Amino acid sequence: MSIQLNPDAVKFAKQLIQDGKLKNDKGHWGQHNPDTSAENKFLDTHEIQEYSQWHLGLDKSKGEDTKGRYHFPYGDFKTVHRDGLIAAKERAAQQGYRDIEKAADELLQTLEKKAAQ
């Protein structure tokens, strides 16, 4: 499986942070990460393209209309979560996806600066 950086998701996350749609949470991402039910509920009322914007990684070997194509979630379909970015950064580092790790780190720094204002 070869996962690539999703530049549209990075751009979307930056805009959300700029708009103040963020959570500077210090909890565990497992507490905020949308489960399958929440993902399906989101997809009931949104296009897969909107779903993709909430994931920093793309597996282009999977179909565009499948959830399996999208990896490294960072938010809850409403806000960017600090702990989501940390989880994405750590998982990307462990799996050797340096571009995703770097993007998550840059977004994390942007979020923390915005939250401090």
Which pLDDT belongs to residue 97? 97
Residues 77 and 73: their CA atoms lie apart, in Å, by: 10
95-108: pLDDT as tens digits: 999 999 999 999 99
Confidence of residue 30 (pLDDT cuts 50, 70, 90): confident
Alpha-helical (H) ranges within the chain are: 7-18, 36-45, 48-52, 82-95, 98-116
68-117: pLDDT as tens digits: 999 999 999 999 999 999 999 999 999 999 999 999 999 999 999 999 88
**The dihedral formed by the CA atoms of 3, 93, 71 and 107, expressed in degrees to the nearest 10:** -110
